[in-house]
Amino acid sequence: MSPPPTDFTAFTDIAKRVNNWGRWGPDDEIGTLNLITDEVVREAASHVRSGRRIPLALPLQQDGVQTGMIPGRVNPLHAMVQVNQEIFGPGTVACSDDVVTMGLQAATHWDALTHVSHSGRVYNGRPANTITPHAGATFAGIDKARHIVSRGVLLDIPRALGGRGTDERLPGDHAVTPEDLEAAEELAGIRVRAGDIVLVRTGQIQLCLAGDRHAYAFPSPGLSLRTPEWFHARDVAAVANDTLTFEIFPPEIEDLWLPVHALDLVEMGMPQGQNWNLEELSTACGQTGCYAFLLSAMPEPFVGGTGTPVAPVAIL
Amino acid sequence: MSPPPTDFTAFTDIAKRVNNWGRWGPDDEIGTLNLITDEVVREAASHVRSGRRIPLALPLQQDGVQTGMIPGRVNPLHAMVQVNQEIFGPGTVACSDDVVTMGLQAATHWDALTHVSHSGRVYNGRPANTITPHAGATFAGIDKARHIVSRGVLLDIPRALGGRGTDERLPGDHAVTPEDLEAAEELAGIRVRAGDIVLVRTGQIQLCLAGDRHAYAFPSPGLSLRTPEWFHARDVAAVANDTLTFEIFPPEIEDLWLPVHALDLVEMGMPQGQNWNLEELSTACGQTGCYAFLLSAMPEPFVGGTGTPVAPVAIL
Amino acid sequence: MSPPPTDFTAFTDIAKRVNNWGRWGPDDEIGTLNLITDEVVREAASHVRSGRRIPLALPLQQDGVQTGMIPGRVNPLHAMVQVNQEIFGPGTVACSDDVVTMGLQAATHWDALTHVSHSGRVYNGRPANTITPHAGATFAGIDKARHIVSRGVLLDIPRALGGRGTDERLPGDHAVTPEDLEAAEELAGIRVRAGDIVLVRTGQIQLCLAGDRHAYAFPSPGLSLRTPEWFHARDVAAVANDTLTFEIFPPEIEDLWLPVHALDLVEMGMPQGQNWNLEELSTACGQTGCYAFLLSAMPEPFVGGTGTPVAPVAIL
Amino acid sequence: MSPPPTDFTAFTDIAKRVNNWGRWGPDDEIGTLNLITDEVVREAASHVRSGRRIPLALPLQQDGVQTGMIPGRVNPLHAMVQVNQEIFGPGTVACSDDVVTMGLQAATHWDALTHVSHSGRVYNGRPANTITPHAGATFAGIDKARHIVSRGVLLDIPRALGGRGTDERLPGDHAVTPEDLEAAEELAGIRVRAGDIVLVRTGQIQLCLAGDRHAYAFPSPGLSLRTPEWFHARDVAAVANDTLTFEIFPPEIEDLWLPVHALDLVEMGMPQGQNWNLEELSTACGQTGCYAFLLSAMPEPFVGGTGTPVAPVAIL
What one-character-per-residue DSSP string does D243-311 give? SSSSB-BS-SSTT--SHHHIIIIIII---EEES---HHHHHHHHHH---EEEEE-PPP-BTT-SEEE--
- How far apart CA D83 and CA A132 sit, in angstroms, is 8
Element (H, E) at B43: helix B38-45
- The CA-atom distances, in angstroms, between B123 and each of A18, A239, B34, B139 are 53, 39, 14, 9
The model's pLDDT over A103-123, given as tens digits with 9 standing for 90+, comes to 999 999 999 999 999 999 999
Q: In this structure, is residue C12 part of a structural domain?
A: no
pLDDT of residue A3: 42
Chain B residues touching residue D83 (CB < 8 angstroms)? 83
Which residue of chain D is at minimal alpha-carbon distance from A82? D134
Report CB contact under 8 Å: A79, C81. yes
Q: How far is D81 from chain A (nearest CA, A)?
A: 5
CATH of the domain at D233: 3.50.30.50
- How far apart CA D47 and CA B190 sit, in angstroms, is 85
The model's pLDDT over B8-33, given as tens digits with 9 standing for 90+, comes to 788 999 999 999 999 999 999 999 99
Chain A residues touching residue D72 (CB < 8 angstroms)? 62, 77, 79
pLDDT of residue B274: 98
Which residue of chain D is at minimal alpha-carbon distance from B98? D79
DSSP state of A220: B
- Counting as low any pLDDT under 50, the low residues of chain A are 1-6, 165
Domain that holds residue B139: 18-66+104-315
Chains contacting chain C through 3 or more C-beta pairs under 8 A:
A, B, D
Chain B residues touching residue D134 (CB < 8 angstroms)? 71-72
Report CB contact under 8 Å: D115, C137. no
Q: How far is A104 from chain C (nearest CA, A)?
A: 15
Of B72, B77, B80, nearest to C79 by CB-CB distance is B72
CB-based contact D314:D171 (threshold 8 Å): no
Q: In this structure, is residue B78 part of a structural domain?
A: no
Q: How far is C62 from chain D (nearest CA, A)?
A: 9
Q: For chain B, how many structural domains are there in total?
A: 1
pLDDT of residue D314: 98
The model's pLDDT over C268-314, given as tens digits with 9 standing for 90+, comes to 999 999 999 999 999 999 999 999 999 999 999 999 999 999 999 99
Nearest to C75 by CA among C87, C66, C86, C85: C66
Q: In this structure, is residue D122 part of a structural domain?
A: yes
Report CB contact under 8 Å: B134, D77. no
- How far apart CA C202 and CA B177 sit, in angstroms, is 57
- The CA-atom distances, in angstroms, between B30 and each of B114, B240, D121, D245 are 10, 16, 37, 41
Q: How far is D139 from chain B (nearest CA, A)?
A: 18
Report CB contact under 8 Å: A42, B51. yes
Of A78, A100, A104, nearest to B98 by CB-CB distance is A104
Which residue of chain B is at minimal alpha-carbon distance from D73? B134
Nearest to D205 by CA among D257, D158, D270: D158
Which runs of consecutive H residues, i.e. helices, occur in chain C? 6-18, 38-45, 157-160, 178-188, 205-209, 213-217, 227-234, 259-261, 279-288
What one-character-per-residue DSSP string does C109-140 give? EEEPGGGEEBTTB-GGG-BGGGEETTTEESSS
Which residue of chain B is at minimal alpha-carbon distance from D102? B101
How far the first Cα of chain A sits from its last, in Å, is 49
- How far apart CA D314 and CA C296 sit, in angstroms, is 10
Chain C residues touching residue D60 (CB < 8 angstroms)? 143, 300-303, 305
Number of Cβ within 10 Å of residue D287's Cβ equals 8
Mutation target vs C (from A101, A102, A132; most C CBs, 10 A cutoff):
A101
Of C72, C99, C134, nearest to A79 by CB-CB distance is C99
**What does the angle CA D158 – CA D161 – CA D163 come to, to the nearest 5 degrees?**
90
- How far apart CA A250 and CA A174 sit, in angstroms, is 10
Chain A residues touching residue C81 (CB < 8 angstroms)? 77, 79
Report CB contact under 8 Å: D134, A83. yes
Provide the number of CB pairs (under 8 Å) joining chain B to chain C. 41
Q: How far is C101 from chain A (nearest CA, A)?
A: 9
Confidence band, pLDDT 50/70/90 cuts, at residue B34 = very high
Of C62, C71, C82, nearest to B134 by CB-CB distance is C82
Q: What mean pLDDT is predicted for residues B142-169?
A: 88
- Counting as low any pLDDT under 50, the low residues of chain C are 1-6, 165
Which runs of consecutive H residues, i.e. helices, occur in chain D? 6-18, 38-45, 157-160, 178-188, 205-209, 213-217, 227-234, 259-261, 279-288
Backbone angles phi, psi at C143, to 5 degrees: -70, -15
Q: Is the bond preceding residue C312 a cis peptide, omega within 30 degrees?
A: no
Question: C129-143 burial, b for 16+ CB within 10 Å, e for fewer?
Answer: ebbbbbbbbbbbbbb
Chains contacting chain A through 3 or more C-beta pairs under 8 A:
B, C, D
Burial of B87 (0-12, 13-18, 19+ CB in 10 A): middle
Element (H, E) at B103: strand B94-103
pLDDT of residue D6: 44
Report CB contact under 8 Å: A60, B301. yes
Report CB contact under 8 Å: D72, A85. no
Q: In this structure, is residue A282 part of a structural domain?
A: yes
Chains contacting chain B through 3 or more C-beta pairs under 8 A:
A, C, D
The model's pLDDT over B122-154, given as tens digits with 9 standing for 90+, comes to 999 999 999 999 999 999 999 999 999 999 999
Q: B18: helix, coil or strand?
A: helix
- The CA-atom distances, in angstroms, between B200 and each of B177, B184, B268, D169 are 11, 9, 18, 67
D227, amino acid identity: T
What residues contact B153, with CB distance under 8 A and at least 6 apart?
B188, B190, B192, B196, B197, B198, B199, B291, B292
| Residue D199 pLDDT exceeds 90 | yes
Of D63, D71, D133, nearest to A62 by CB-CB distance is D71
pTM score, whole prediction: 0.94
pLDDT of residue C7: 59
| Residue B217 pLDDT exceeds 70 | yes
The model's pLDDT over D61-74, given as tens digits with 9 standing for 90+, comes to 999 999 988 989 99
pLDDT of residue B231: 98
- How far apart CA D179 and CA D226 sit, in angstroms, is 10
